[in-house]
């Protein structure tokens, strides 16, 4: 059995519902477990949070200030804020001391965290004191083609690889999922490959290769379907996270 505190790093594309999930899952954990739980906000551009973080990066770094002082655009300022966050890890670890579970809400724009070295440094520093697992949030309401489905699933693989982090993939907004998503998610990999071929295009062969890679991942890590507004599926997410912490990543 690993040691506390356990940290759940919530990351994924913009608009996937990371912050809402963080708030709802914190509420669910407090209502359904005996654990001491709190959240951490690492998005220096997030103003109105639906939870009260035990650590809020905006108490130290604000992208509005970085934009003005460094003559940066919003994306550049957000990227710089993540780099600055690497200096704040000792403070975060101090704030979460004594907790059992910590939910870590990452920047809305995924690339500034997963696509830069600073994101991996933050994960590495946290992992020295905390037991960290990733939750990758994908938007089921945004899927209308097979290539879009593979795109999001590939992002999960690449993000996990870049951060060096065991990651649980979840489809969020399942209550408003598109009809196309419901059909595609049920397909076997060969049938999904056929759908990709039907779409055609220059990168069809590459997409089918990516589909093969993501299907191999799904043999080891089950994908969870949730709706963070209603709370549907949070019990299954908890079970998957708990299994990760207890048995070192056997999520089948």
Q: What backbone phi and psi angles, to 5 degrees, belong to 47?
A: -95, -55
- The rounded distance, in Å, linking the Cα atoms of 141 and 115 is 24
What tokens were used for 159? 């993000």
- For tokens 């209550």, name the residue: 175
| Mean pLDDT of the 199-209 span | 68
Chain center to CA of 244: 15
Number of domains forming the structure of the chain: 1
Residue 128 falls inside a structural domain: yes
Q: What is the pLDDT of residue 83?
A: 94
Residue 252 falls inside a structural domain: no
What tokens were used for 101? 């579970």
Three-class secondary structure of residue 19 per DSSP: helix
Instruction: Encode pLDDT of 137-161 as tens digits.
Output: 999 999 999 889 988 988 998 899 8
Residues with Cβ within 8 Å of 228's Cβ and at least 6 positions away in sequence, in order, are 17, 20, 21, 24, 25, 172, 173, 234
**CATH number of the domain enclosing 204:** 3.40.50.300
Q: What is the pTM of this model?
A: 0.90
Greater confidence (244 vs 212) lies with 244
The domain containing residue 208 runs over which residues? 6-247
Element (H, E) at 64: helix 63-70
Chain center to CA of 108: 10
Residue 1 falls inside a structural domain: no
């Amino acid at each position: 059995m690993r040691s506390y505190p356990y940290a759940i790093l919530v990351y994924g594309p913009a608009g996937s519902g990371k912050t809402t999930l963080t708030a709802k899952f914190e509420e669910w954990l407090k209502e359904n477990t005996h654990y001491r739980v709190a959240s951490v906000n690492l998005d220096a551009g997030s103003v109105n949070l639906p939870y009260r973080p035990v650590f809020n990066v905006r108490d130290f770094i604000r992208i509005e200030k970085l934009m003005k002082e460094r003559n940066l655009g919003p994306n550049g300022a957000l990227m710089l804020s993540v780099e600055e966050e690497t200096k704040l890890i000792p403070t975060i670890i101090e704030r979460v001391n004594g907790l059992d579970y910590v939910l870590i809400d990452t920047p809305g724009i995924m690339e500034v965290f997963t696509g830069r070295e600073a994101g991996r440094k933050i994960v590495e520093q946290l992992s020295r004191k905390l037991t960290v697992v990733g939750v990758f949030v994908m938007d089921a309401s945004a899927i209308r083609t097979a290539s879009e489905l593979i795109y999001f699933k590939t992002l999960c693989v690449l993000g996990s690889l870049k951060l060096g982090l065991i990651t649980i993939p979840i489809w969020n907004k399942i209550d408003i999922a598109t009809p196309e998503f419901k059909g595609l998610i049920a397909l076997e990999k060969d049938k999904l490959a056929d759908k990709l071929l039907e779409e055609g295009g220059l990168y069809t062969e590459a997409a089918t290769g990516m589909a093969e890679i993501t299907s191999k991942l799904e043999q080891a890590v089950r994908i969870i379907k949730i709706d963070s507004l209603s709370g549907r599926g949070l019990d299954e997410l908890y079970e998957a996270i708990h299994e990760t912490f207890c048995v070192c990543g056997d999520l089948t």
